[in-house]
Structure 1
Amino acid sequence: MDLAGKKCLVIGAARTGLAVSEFLLGKKAQVFLNDSQTKANLVWKKLVSLENRGVVLLLGQQPDLDSFSPDLIIVSPGVPLLLPCLQKARIKGIPIWSEIELAARFIKVPLLAVTGTNGKTTTTTLLGKILADGGRKVVVGGNIGEPLISKLEALNSDSLAVLEVSSFQLATTEIFRPQVALFLNLTPDHLDWHLSYEAYRESKEKIFLNQDSTDYLVLNYDDPETRKMAALAPGKVLFFSREHILETGFCVQDDWLVAKEASQTTRFLPVEEIKIKGGHNLENALAAAAAGWLMGLSKTSITMSLRTFPGVEHRLEEVLTYQGITFINDSKGTNPAAVIKALAAYTHPLILLAGGKNKGSDFSALALKIKERVKELILFGEAAPQIAAAVKKVGYRNYHLVSDLKAAVYLGTDLAVKGDIVLLSPACASWDMFSSFEERGQVFKDLVRKITESR
């Protein structure tokens, strides 16, 4: 694809938008970088560098398409597709792509992509480790780490690319096609952006719709939503399950992780020897092992990776234990389904810290789980009253509303006794108080260390 001289509008001047602008400059395109925020709220030095190299900055405003008539628009994840300029672009027939769609036009190596409502980051990172431990040259990115577009130059003919892909990124894809796609689970999320569960699901399904008969789709047999996607798959389907013994696929049999192929069973390791714990992480391990197996890795190599992979930051991450109280950072738990899985991962009494910006979620199922498992609930952020109303409706009364995360951590520490777990698992996005779930998780960890060191 020749972009030389093409007018390319990039919307969103954060990590993805900056990486896309750099890439387009390298392809000698005319780049226009837009963001609703002004320079004062953005990465100033990077913007100046781009501007000095010819990028036209359109900041603090909606771009006027008539003033420069772009040939292509690249939207960053989370940019609302109902922006007036994007609606106008559709009328004009201007292509609107995500960063991964742009990268798909240039990538020349096998691509493995992971999506789902929950478990994406853990599974993507684990799959990257499995491939690297097996001697493959692998680049991991997408919705975690660096955007794929910034890693294209690092790929050679021996490389593999492993991506976490979100519904935001998939929504504006056209030819994006992974040779191996993993779809972990599906529950309502980001409904404030997609506006309906159906639209959310359709965006996610784009991960496999461009595949052909030579490609693979790895699906969760235990999730009714993903199981029925097998009927839509153009490629070959491989199921995984932690609840059923499959005729073909990856599953648990006699407490071992196994691969079933026709009449042959390959035993990898006892489930208890998988380093990452919890039922949800067993699903992640099954999915990643299945993808590694499809890529030709040995049982020995996959088993070693499963025994040694420690998990990812901000997902059920143990911060420290103080006077018998354990503090867990699960800032990545940004929707109710993720928190339900987090609560199920522990047997100790739980003090749950939750709240933030609601993404259109219904908290009723989470409220029932809180009533069953949570000793004390501490709520903060915009969604605190909504979560409080949900738990109150099911008869749960041990909740406290506080002003911010700092107050929540202090109160949680005060309420906890030996044997308790203080768990940050917000069930919400971070954007009401923080720039990202990573920042929220880091603030939580810093607060925990500060409080425990001072007592």
Structure 2
Amino acid sequence: MSLPEPPPPPRFSPDDGWFDGNRVTVMGLGRFGGGVGVTRWLARRGARVLVTDKAPADRLADSLKRIDDLVTSGIVTLRLGGHETADFSDTDAVVANPAVPTPWDNPFLRAAWDAGVGVATEIGLVVDRVDAARLICVTGTAGKSTTSAMIHAALRDRGAVLGGNIGGSLLEDEAALGGSSPVVLELSSAMLWWLGPIRARVAVVTSYAPNHADWHGSEAHYRACKRQMGEELSGDGTVVLDASVADWPVGESATRRVVDGDAPMPTLRVPGEHNRRNAQLARTAAFAFDPSLAPDAVDASIAAFPGLPHRLAFAGQRGGVRFYNDSKCTTPEGTALAIRSISDGATGVIHVIVGGADKGVDLSPMFRGMPTSTRIYAVGATGERIVEVSDRDVALCGTMSVAIDRISDAATRGDVVLLSPGCASWDQFDNYERRGERFMELVRMAFGPAEEHHERS
């Protein structure tokens, strides 16, 4: 088996009654809902909760509003702007944010483990409270969010719920945890490290490319975390693999299904060949979960899926120029896919904004198969690296504001403007949502309001 090294610690997930009266440190309130969800869940179980986050209060304003009642009542104590070792060593349990890089080397988590304190994660608490027969777990370097959402759409009539890395916390949905409906979880490589071997009815791997060396410390560790979901799937579950990872191992008693992309699919609302592949993976996963589903109904649900915000989302037309917001794209390979998708039917120049935080990966794949009509505008911390690895001219802009100014001077009717960074957002933005919102703000300022336009399906 290709287990990650260092391996995850033993899973710590006591039953609900254990938390009553015990002290629990929540490491990282965050801005995506997981910290809020687990804090409220712990409070309902009688825990005495300390929330600690390295970010100051002003950067956590939205999340703090959602637990203000707990803070006011004294159930939750806050320690913001930094961590203190004693909060991790002198407590009964810690709930860690999976986004903390190389957690095995983190001094605060090490203090907890050295003191014999159990360390859990929000996603671990969710997985341990959902019957494995209800679970569909999805991972992959690219496509996991869209594939997860398409599976959710296909199973909506069954009352399916969607959670995990896609945002929010299912701990806030008590009915989802204790019910009988399908639960679709998007799982990041970091979550998979913390979870270790899991039980699920269906596991889906959408793709693989080197990524997140900043979190894992090496590509080998990242790859091992991705592989272990299918390789260690216990029970008689089904592992659905994209053809690009067809040779990845699966559990001894698991069923392997490979999606080669040749299966017919109806016309989708979301553009791109990669989304057709996502749709085929979603369809295969839905039928693996429930073979009795009506094929026409599944196909119709997936075909009607409108796409996710900030994921190659059509953002209107202005002066004959079409705009797409793909801020969620954080891999170079994803940028290349987005450009190829948009180039189908494009009659003018494709102006693409790339760059962001440096995750230590090869950026050259974003240029593979790039049409000659593409103009590149580099922003963020990786801007200079992009200029160095590109085999064509790149406008080094630094910020998105400068990039949009230059594009507004160059774009003409028939052109396309695409934000598809291929890099993370945290060098200049709190998250990819804020990056996408800023893109749209600048587009409206430079190009005006969107025209009435019906995007092709």
Into which bin does the TM-score normalised by the smaller protein fall?
Answer: 0.7 to 0.9
Which residue does the alignment assign to 2:354? 354
Give distance in 2, aligned partners of 1:429 and 1:331. 9
Which residue does the alignment assign to 1:341? 337
Q: How does 1:380-419 map to 2 (within 5 A)?
A: 380-391=379-390, 394=391, 396-397=392-393, 399-419=394-414
C-alpha change, 1:48 and 1:79, in structure 2 (3 Å) is same
Give distance in 1, aligned partners of 2:377 and 2:397. 7
Give distance in 2, aligned partners of 1:66 and 1:300. 54
More strand by percentage = 1
Which residue does the alignment assign to 1:208? 230
The amino acid across from 2:127 in the alignment is: A
Give distance in 2, aligned partners of 1:131 and 1:354. 35
Structure 1 residue 299: deviation in Å?
0.7
Give distance in 2, aligned partners of 1:211 and 1:383. 37
Instruction: Report the TM-score, using the length of structure 2 for normalisation.
Output: 0.86
C-alpha change, 1:400 and 1:213, in structure 2 (3 Å) is same
- Determine if the alignment matches structure 1 residue 182 to structure 2 residue 204: yes
Greater relative contact order (CA < 8 Å, ≥ 6 in sequence): 2
C-alpha change, 1:441 and 1:454, in structure 2 (3 Å) is closer
Which residue does the alignment assign to 1:263? none
Which residue does the alignment assign to 1:319? 315
Give distance in 2, aligned partners of 1:155 and 1:97. 17
Aligned residues: 420
Q: Please point out which of 118, 121, 128 is paired with 2:142.
A: 118
Which residue does the alignment assign to 2:183? 161
C-alpha change, 1:53 and 1:400, in structure 2 (3 Å) is same
C-alpha change, 1:206 and 1:49, in structure 2 (3 Å) is farther
Q: Please point out which of 56, 61, 70 is paired with 1:50.
A: 70
Instruction: Report the TM-score, using the length of structure 1 for normalisation.
Output: 0.86
Which residue does the alignment assign to 1:18? 36
Deviations 1:214-272 (A, max 9, x none): 21111112x1xx22223556521111111xxxxxxxx43xxx24xxxxxxxxxxx4xxx
Structure 1 residue 67: deviation in Å?
7.5
The amino acid across from 1:45 in the alignment is: K
Three-state SS of the structure 2 residue aligned to 1:34 is strand
C-alpha change, 1:47 and 1:419, in structure 2 (3 Å) is same
The amino acid across from 2:354 in the alignment is: A
Give distance in 2, aligned partners of 1:426 and 1:446. 17
Structure 1 residue 373: deviation in Å?
4.1
Give distance in 1, aligned partners of 2:215 and 2:136. 26
CA contact 2:203–2:229 (8 Å) conserved in 1: yes
CA contact 1:208–1:233 (8 Å) conserved in 2: no
Three-state SS of the structure 2 residue aligned to 1:229 is coil
CA contact 2:144–2:206 (8 Å) conserved in 1: yes
C-alpha change, 1:307 and 1:60, in structure 2 (3 Å) is closer
Three-state SS of the structure 2 residue aligned to 1:118 is coil
Q: How does 1:47-446 map to 2 (within 5 A)?
A: 47-51=67-71, 52-65=73-86, 69-80=90-101, 81=103, 82-108=105-131, 110-132=134-156, 135-174=157-196, 176-221=198-243, 223=244, 226-231=245-250, 234-242=253-261, 251-252=262-263, 256-257=264-265, 269=266, 273-294=267-288, 295-296=290-291, 297-345=293-341, 346-347=343-344, 348=346, 349-370=349-370, 372-391=371-390, 394=391, 396-397=392-393, 399-446=394-441
Give distance in 1, aligned partners of 2:150 and 2:253. 26
Structure 1 residue 174: deviation in Å?
4.1
The amino acid across from 2:380 in the alignment is: G
Structure 1 residue 131: deviation in Å?
0.5
| Structure 2 residues not aligned, in runs of 5+ | 1-14, 451-457
The amino acid across from 2:93 in the alignment is: L
Identity %: 30
Structure 1 residue 45: deviation in Å?
3.2
CA contact 2:137–2:200 (8 Å) conserved in 1: yes
CA contact 2:234–2:251 (8 Å) conserved in 1: no
CA contact 2:171–2:177 (8 Å) conserved in 1: no
Structure 1 residue 66: deviation in Å?
7.3
Note the aligned Cα RMSD (angstroms): 2.2
